Amino acid sequence: MAFRPTRLTAIAATLPLLFVGTPAQAAPETNLSASAATCYGGAVRSYFQVGGWGGDAGPYRASTRCKDVNVKNTSEFGTEACVVFIDKTNKCNYLTYLPAKSDYITVATNVKDGANFKVRFSNLRYEYEPLVAYHAF
């Protein structure tokens, strides 16, 4: 059986690629909106009835999904929120104002994975409308 020169040339041209490998590729670009969607995709809803001053939502445990605690206020009125790290204290870290119908707002930054916390809401308008919020952590 005679070998054709074209077959031999094709094999000879392919062999160096096996040793060299494929060309390097650039690292994929970081998609911030995709990471935010992943963070917010695990959001938890809280609801407070009309007639109260607010209250605590949780307890929650910080996850690797988000490095911050973010809260979205979907109510008809603004409210204040803070994070209470329940393993350390029963006091707020600091109050953050959440306007009515807000997007996600960071209420605690650089939270350690596994940290236990509650989100405390404080408002005088619960007598008119309930408070509905979402927490992403």
pLDDT digits (tens, 9 = 90+) for 81-118: 999 999 999 999 889 999 999 999 999 999 999 999 99
Q: According to the model, what pLDDT value does residue 54 have?
A: 75
For CA atoms 87, 92, 98, 100, give the dihedral sign. Answer: positive
- State the CATH number of the domain containing residue 114: 2.60.290
73 in a domain, yes or no?
yes
Q: Which domain holds residue 92?
A: 53-136
Q: How many CA atoms lie within 13 A of 35 on its CB side?
A: 9
82 in a domain, yes or no?
yes
38 in a domain, yes or no?
no
14 in a domain, yes or no?
no
Provide the pLDDT confidence category of residue 126 given band limits of 50, 70 and 90.
low
